[in-house]
Structure 1
Amino acid sequence: METSSAPEALPPFASDTRAAAAADPAAGAGASASAAPWWQHAICWQVYPLGFCGAPLHREDLGAETYGERQGDNVVHRLDRIVGWLDHLLALGADVLILNPIFDSVSHGYDTLDHLRVDPRLGDEADLDALIGACRERGISLVLDGVFNHVSHLHPLVRRALADGPDSPAGACIRWSGAHPYGFEGNEDLVELKLAEPAVQERIAQVMNLWLDRGIDGWRLDAMYAAGPEAWAPILDMVRAEHPEAWILGEVIHGDYRAFAEASGADSITQYELWKAIWSSIRETNLFELAHAIGRHEAFVHGGEDDGEGAPFLPLTFLGNHDTTRIASQLEDGRDLAVAFALLALLPGIPAIYAGDEMGAVGTKEERAGGDDAVRPLFPASPDALRSGIGPDGTWHGEIPVGTSPSLALLARPAAPRLFEVHQRLLGLRRREGWLATARIRVDEDSLTNASVRIVLEPDGLAPSDTPRGLALWLNLGDEPLDLPNDAEVLTQVSGADMLDAVGPAAPGTVPAHGAAAVR
């Protein structure tokens, strides 16, 4: 494997403007009736802004009499910290920025107080406009997190519902458990909205359309699974009527993904099945689990008999997010990150890299109060600040405000540029082979063992004259390299040992130990 240092870059609401879709021209993206939608070839970088920007974990101003009466009360301008990383996003090979909650909330962002106000811990509308503009200048599409399933128990609607009772107009907009508001997944401070109520549906669609008018390109719909697809379908119909080009990504953890996507109208669903299979099969050296999940994934993308009913769709694929343990902390042998990265980069779907994973960020989610903080860390103001402030232990030691998430920590400081370069190389291959976004996939059963496998990827839906040659992705979790066929054209090799410890490139014509190879 050839390695190189990462580039210097590594490190009133409605308006008549609209952000241009950041499609890859070479991949043939672009929203029209005859062309693929812009998001089909998207590569995403996901950020949890409250942690990333160093916002206090909890609001201390909610008891102020003036709270919410004047825009600008208690505002601290932190959102521009993300702007300092946009060139890093591009250098990585991504073109879509997915932001977790940025709207006015009590603590972690999923306890919303106002969907029409930027969280004052992050800034104000002008800060968001600046971020939208900075993304637009770079051809980056921006997707916001829509937390519409539930709101804070301090939300004005909930307060009004409690005052007026369940039979009041406000009371009809929330769910009840007897005489008490219904708490989302047992959390009394997160009150579920009644998404089947037409007034709620209309308000959610209005909010979504207002921000799309403002210049964003799509929505991630948090906890979409909770209310069910039938509740969401009328909302998305109203959004589609005004913004047919918007990308709608639904968070669905379990269930019949294809049926949910079709019934709700969502474009994409979070592929938690594949996420679990990747880290679990690698950690347990059981690629049979991965093979089963790949069969399911193929059925999601192209249709099949074993995944329920519904039309095919493009899932969002990922190795981690703001709710999960970091992939570098999931895998006991850091060399095996090479296999995970190759799967994310080359399997069909819409890949999303959780900010920091491309440099080997570590962090473990714990089931306790504050147990998410370690996977939602504070980032420095720019990649340059990271390079200058990171210590030998891999933790950034810059200025860390009191009462925020812990700072970004990496698996190994020297390895960070090499991990970044591997992402660049693999995502570059995906860009050059644009058909991979919708490729057909199958596991070569004759090659399958606990520690190694050959995955075949072939173009789908192209005219014969336009059809490129397919490729094969070889994975090797063993301690010894595997020989490739003599006639194989090696497109790239990723050696986990070289990536992590710079031990030298892999031998030509092999699948490196704890590594991967893509071949014709």
Structure 2
Amino acid sequence: MTVSQPAWVDYSVWWHCYPLGFTDAERRRVAGDPVTHRLEHLVGWLDYLVSLGCNGLLLGPVFASVSHGYDTLDHYRVDARLGDEADLRRLVDEAHRRGIRVVLDGVFNHVAREHPAVARAEAAGPGTPDGSWVQWVDGYVRCFEGHLDMPELDLSTPAVRDHIVGVMEHWLAFGIDGWRLDAAYAPGPDAWAPITARVRADFPEAWLLGEVIHGDVADFVRRSGVHSLTQYELWKAIWSSLNDTNFWELAHALERHRAFLATFVPQTFIGNHDVTRIRSMLNDDRHLGHAVVLLMVLPGIPSIYYGDEQGFVGTKEDRPGGDDQIRPAMPPRPENLSLLGRPILAQHQALIALRRRHPWLVRADIAVVAVTNETIVIECSSESGGAHHEIAIALNVDDAPRPMPSGTVIAHSAEDLMEIEAHGWAVLER
């Protein structure tokens, strides 16, 4: 059964931040080190978030961990490299004072090898109450996707479910607005169902977002009880179709996206903490605007990964420390940013403002009305509030200009309103 997400989510545009990198925290914790109050750094960027046009802060891991935050030691304690509970309290309060919702990263599928539950499980062994907290393979604790430092919890164990519900509800009572469930695909949808049912019953206004990379995503939503999932198919189709000059791939992905919308509203993105930055992913820098247009106009719940709005570059590499380029430190204040990012920032602000003026886009219907290898015209429409709404996206990656489709141009990559320039784009209201 699909559950309706809280109404406020339909109006949200998220800024996704990886706090350990953003605040330039040490790569690994050192036991006994004093608390360093780095979350205050993020408080100083909240007005920037508002000026961008966002009203949601999607935070990466903030809880005590060994290194990158996805190897949790204690779900009830703020990572000392970031600060303490008072620092998180101030961040949440200051965000809410500005009308910004806050969602935290819930890393519940796996924990650090040093986690007390793992030590107890290994000492007790499989088939015991303590041993039932973790997954076992051939007498050894199973680790997440081969990462030996991240043993997997067993979400079918009632005590583990109780623990996860307890953590989620503790921080929801603290004042956060929802959870991103990291690696939600790993334990599977049925493992999440009893957890999400309890949390939704106690906190009906909390948003639950699951990280799912592939598979039958609509079925996952129906069975798991989460409200939304990460839309990796659309992410891939956006940069791949632009690089390959093949808008037929995008058209196919949009058919799938439209089908998903019949069940749930996907969380859309063109960058996050796990992938090469969109500007580095694209072969032609002239197509960055095309990707941003698709993110901000297509239906879904959009998020911007911090720095993408400034045109940051960074490549994810498959090696230790391979995430460092895509999880950089930010300067003390937004005013310290390079002036080189201002044109891309202005483009993001304009397109986010367009999105905020047309909130119906979140659940719009999609129709691809024209497509070639080099061009595509996509209509987004809705019958809401007793009125018909329609916006068209026109993209051109050809070396020659193309005629402008019918409609009133409301955003454009160039000044000429009679045609779409070579490697240009336009958004039209109809």
What TM-score, normalized by structure 1, do the two folds share?
0.80
Matches within 5 A, 1:363-402: 363-387=314-338
| Equivalent position amino acid for 1:122 in 2 | L
Matches within 5 A, 1:431-510: 431-444=356-369, 447-460=370-383, 462=384, 466-485=386-405, 488-494=407-413, 505-510=414-419
**In 1: Cα distance, 2:4 partner to 2:337 partner:** 44
Partner residue of 2:168 out of 205, 208, 215? 208
Residue 480 (structure 1) shift: 2.5
The equivalent residue for 1:428 is 353
- Structure scoring higher RCO (CA < 8 A, sep ≥ 6) equals 1
**In 2: Cα distance, 1:363 partner to 1:347 partner:** 25
**In 1: Cα distance, 2:310 partner to 2:422 partner:** 21
**In 1: Cα distance, 2:5 partner to 2:279 partner:** 38
The equivalent residue for 1:88 is 48
Aligned residue for 2:16, secondary structure, equals strand
Contact 1:476 1:515 in 2 (8 A): yes
**In 1: Cα distance, 2:109 partner to 2:424 partner:** 41
Partner residue of 1:343 out of 294, 301, 314? 294
Aligned residue for 1:190, secondary structure, equals coil
Partner residue of 2:29 out of 51, 59, 66? 59
Q: Deviations over 1:285-310 (max 9, x none)?
A: 111100000010000012xxxxxxxx
**In 2: Cα distance, 1:127 partner to 1:509 partner:** 53
Count of residues in Structure 1 that have an aligned counterpart in Structure 2: 427
Is 176-185 or 109-118 further displaced after alignment? 176-185
**In 1: Cα distance, 2:307 partner to 2:360 partner:** 27
Contact 1:493 1:512 in 2 (8 A): no
Aligned residue for 1:365, secondary structure, equals coil
**In 2: Cα distance, 1:74 partner to 1:226 partner:** 35
| Equivalent position amino acid for 2:256 in 1 | R
- Root-mean-square deviation (CA), in Å? 1.5
The equivalent residue for 2:343 is 418
The equivalent residue for 1:317 is 268
| Equivalent position amino acid for 2:293 in 1 | A
Distance 1:34 1:380, change over 3 A: closer
**In 2: Cα distance, 1:232 partner to 1:424 partner:** 36
Matches within 5 A, 1:14-25: none
What TM-score, normalized by structure 2, do the two folds share?
0.97
Contact 1:269 1:316 in 2 (8 A): yes
Q: Deviations over 1:168-202 (max 9, x none)?
A: 32111111122221111011110000001111111
Partner residue of 2:87 out of 127, 135, 138? 127
Residue 422 (structure 1) shift: 0.9
Aligned residue for 1:192, secondary structure, equals coil
**In 2: Cα distance, 1:385 partner to 1:359 partner:** 12
Residue 468 (structure 1) shift: 3.6
Unaligned runs of 5+ in 1: 1-32, 62-66, 68-72, 303-311, 388-412, 495-504
Aligned residue for 1:358, secondary structure, equals helix
The equivalent residue for 2:281 is 330
**In 1: Cα distance, 2:316 partner to 2:50 partner:** 28
Distance 1:94 1:152, change over 3 A: same
**In 2: Cα distance, 1:479 partner to 1:429 partner:** 27
Contact 1:338 1:514 in 2 (8 A): no
**In 2: Cα distance, 1:418 partner to 1:35 partner:** 35
| Equivalent position amino acid for 1:440 in 2 | D
**In 2: Cα distance, 1:243 partner to 1:472 partner:** 37
Residue 479 (structure 1) shift: 2.2
**In 2: Cα distance, 1:87 partner to 1:512 partner:** 35
Q: Deviations over 1:472-514 (max 9, x none)?
A: 11011122322214x53111102xxxxxxxxxx4312222322
Residue 341 (structure 1) shift: 0.5
| Equivalent position amino acid for 2:28 in 1 | H
Identical-residue share of aligned pairs (%):
52
The equivalent residue for 2:180 is 220
The equivalent residue for 1:405 is none
**In 1: Cα distance, 2:158 partner to 2:349 partner:** 46
Residue 34 (structure 1) shift: 11
**In 2: Cα distance, 1:472 partner to 1:36 partner:** 28
